[in-house]
Amino acid sequence: MTESAPMSVSGTTWRFPAAFWVGNVIELFERAAYYGVFIALAVYLTSVVGFSDVQAGWVGAGFVGVLYLLPFVTGAISDRIGFRPAVILSFALLTVGYAILGIAPRPVPVLCGLLLAAVGGSFVKPLITGTVALCSDEASRARAFSLFYMMVNVGSFSGKSVAGPVRKALGVGTVPLYSAGAAAIALLIGVFLYRPPESPSVRPRTVAESLGGLATVLRNGRFLALILITAGFWLIQGQMYASMPKYVLRTVGEGATPEWYANVNPLVVVLCVVPITHLVRKLAPIASITIALALIPISAIIMGLSGLIGSITVAMILGIALQGLAECFLSPRYYEYASKLAPRGQEGLYMGYAHVNVFFAWFFGFILSGYLLDAFCPDPAKLSAADQAARLAAIAGNGAMPAAYAHAHVIWWVFAGVGVLALTALLILQGVSSRETSAA
């Protein structure tokens, strides 16, 4: 969103204007809706809609691609039409999009529903973060965004917590209807209660300016390298949604609750981000980022060691918990280091596009996940009758998994390799940057 003059707020209290709290409640419901669908999406696309693992990977990649790239366009549109109309438009699209997934689970309607939801969702983040900025000043902004971040994690946790019981009780095809309901509540809040402060003092950006800024950032070799390197981190963490649900349901059984496994991540982040940030405050940002990239491949290795650990559930929880710990080292320092790679005087421009690493991570991560699942942990419906019976017997504790699942753990070895590659590339980038600094 366009930078606007913030409202004056006392720097010594946690009191903020009503628009701040309304915006954060809207964010909570949006995150609950989004993560409810997202944790179930990969399973829904194969078991309900009928896509193959590979097709589901490409569909999921298209969904997150639109969701994470379109804000550069929708942010500029929101600047021009105003925050409140944009919020109403956003949640109308989200409500309809999620509802279509639940009402018409067939390929063409589902693709249309996902497109509507992705477009609607692309408005939300710049709108609500813009509201937080407008409702705070320099002295109170850190507290304002800490509250916003807490609401994001509460929404994430609650969305997945509800999605699990809904899936078990009513089927995965009903999860989008739960998300449509959460989005509809946010829409009603937007219509009746959301009155954000507006500031016409700054000329809104155009779509061309937004896309031109992105092109400028991606032409900077060192900055692009950092984006791609940290995308390796988020690619692995994104497997909580792309690979883990199917992997768990296929190897542990339909009685498992991957939604609750995934909730270990936000729980660890909420509990640990403040103490870890304090612990590493004297470290250089690159050192903290390096720790994160060293931990993330270990998390994938742990997730593939269920044979040695003796339990897939324990392996998943330990790996996901380590990912949450690694995130605590990365997230608070990433933007700090990225700003140092930006040309002097262009730090603001570059920071506005620094999160494009998540686009690369989840777009390519979903595609890779589809191929890996198809090769090493295939859809049980594709197995012969004898192998399906053997799988069910193995899940019940009677015998071994069929040969089709013998190397399912290789999925996690591949992602560990991505993490090692990212860590190696970061060390190279660090070395190059240090030499350039010394030469200067």
Band of pLDDT at residue 348, cut at 50, 70 and 90? low
User: Over 80: is that where the pLDDT of 433 sits?
Assistant: no
User: According to the model, what pLDDT value does residue 201 have?
Assistant: 53
User: Over 50: is that where the pLDDT of 367 sits?
Assistant: yes
User: According to the model, what pLDDT value does residue 337 have?
Assistant: 85
User: According to the model, what pLDDT value does residue 410 have?
Assistant: 96
- With tokens 């591949």, the residue in question is 414
Is residue 231 a contact partner of residue 357, using CB atoms and an 8 Å limit? yes
The segment with the largest mean pLDDT, out of 94-98, 124-128, 277-281, is 94-98
Please give the share of the chain, as a percent, with pLDDT higher than 90: 68
Structure tokens at 134: 């407008």
User: According to the model, what pLDDT value does residue 103 have?
Assistant: 98
User: According to the model, what pLDDT value does residue 282 have?
Assistant: 87
Measured in degrees and rounded to the nearest 5, phi and psi for residue 397 equal 95, 15
Band of pLDDT at residue 3, cut at 50, 70 and 90? very low
Residue 383, Cβ density class (10 Å: 0-12 exposed, 13-18 middle, ≥19 buried): middle
User: Over 60: is that where the pLDDT of 383 sits?
Assistant: yes
User: According to the model, what pLDDT value does residue 1 have?
Assistant: 40
Q: List, as one string, the DSSP characters of 220-261.
A: -HHHHHHHHHHHHHHHHHTHHHHTHHHHHHHHT-TT--HHHH
Q: For residues 313 and 245, what is the distance between their CA atoms, to the nearest angstrom? A: 11
Mean pLDDT computed over 398-427: 96
15-205 CATH pick, 3.60.10.10, 3.20.20.450, 1.20.1250.20, 1.10.10.10: 1.20.1250.20
User: Over 90: is that where the pLDDT of 343 sits?
Assistant: no
Q: Which of 117-126, 200-209, 212-221 has the lowest mean pLDDT?
A: 200-209
User: According to the model, what pLDDT value does residue 203 have?
Assistant: 62
Structure tokens at 30: 């949006």
Single pTM value for the model: 0.92
pLDDT in tens, 83-120: 999 999 999 999 999 999 999 999 999 999 999 999 99
Is residue 66 a contact partner of residue 118, using CB atoms and an 8 Å limit? yes
Q: For residues 140 and 184, what is the distance between their CA atoms, to the nearest angstrom? A: 31
Mean pLDDT for all residues in the chain: 90
Mean pLDDT computed over 289-318: 94
Is residue 126 a contact partner of residue 78, using CB atoms and an 8 Å limit? yes
* CATH 1.20.1250.20 boundaries in the chain: 15-205, 214-440
Choose between 333 and 315: higher pLDDT.
315
Is residue 336 a contact partner of residue 285, using CB atoms and an 8 Å limit? yes
Q: Render the burial of 395-407: b for 16+ CB within 10 Å, e for the rest.
A: beeeeebbebbee
The CA-CA-CA angle for residues 126, 422, 259, to 5°, reads 60
User: According to the model, what pLDDT value does residue 204 have?
Assistant: 66
Band of pLDDT at residue 126, cut at 50, 70 and 90? confident
Is residue 160 a contact partner of residue 259, using CB atoms and an 8 Å limit? yes
pLDDT in tens, 54-76: 999 999 999 999 999 998 888 88
CA atoms within 13 A on the CB side of 257: 15
- With tokens 């954060």, the residue in question is 24
Mean pLDDT computed over 141-159: 85
Q: For residues 152 and 356, what is the distance between their CA atoms, to the nearest angstrom? A: 19
Band of pLDDT at residue 381, cut at 50, 70 and 90? very high
Q: For residues 360 and 218, what is the distance between their CA atoms, to the nearest angstrom? A: 12
User: Over 70: is that where the pLDDT of 277 sits?
Assistant: yes
- With tokens 């004898």, the residue in question is 386
User: According to the model, what pLDDT value does residue 202 have?
Assistant: 57
CA dihedral for 144, 149, 152, 154, sign (positive or negative)? negative
User: According to the model, what pLDDT value does residue 270 have?
Assistant: 84
Is residue 156 a contact partner of residue 27, using CB atoms and an 8 Å limit? no
Structure tokens at 325: 């710990």
CA distances from 376 to 1, 45, 214, 300 (A): 43, 18, 37, 16
Residues 6+ apart with CB under 8 A from 320: 240, 244, 261, 262, 264, 265, 299, 303
Mean pLDDT computed over 266-295: 90
Q: For residues 253 and 233, what is the distance between their CA atoms, to the nearest angstrom? A: 28
> What's the chain's length in residues?
440
User: Over 50: is that where the pLDDT of 268 sits?
Assistant: yes
| Angle subtended by helix axes 221-237 and 285-303, to nearest 10 | 30
Q: Smallest Cα–Cα separation from 312: which of 251, 376, 241?
A: 251
Residues 6+ apart with CB under 8 A from 18: 195
Is residue 178 a contact partner of residue 163, using CB atoms and an 8 Å limit? yes
Band of pLDDT at residue 327, cut at 50, 70 and 90? very high
214-440 CATH pick, 1.20.1060.10, 3.40.1190.20, 1.20.1250.20, 3.40.190.10: 1.20.1250.20
User: According to the model, what pLDDT value does residue 331 have?
Assistant: 82
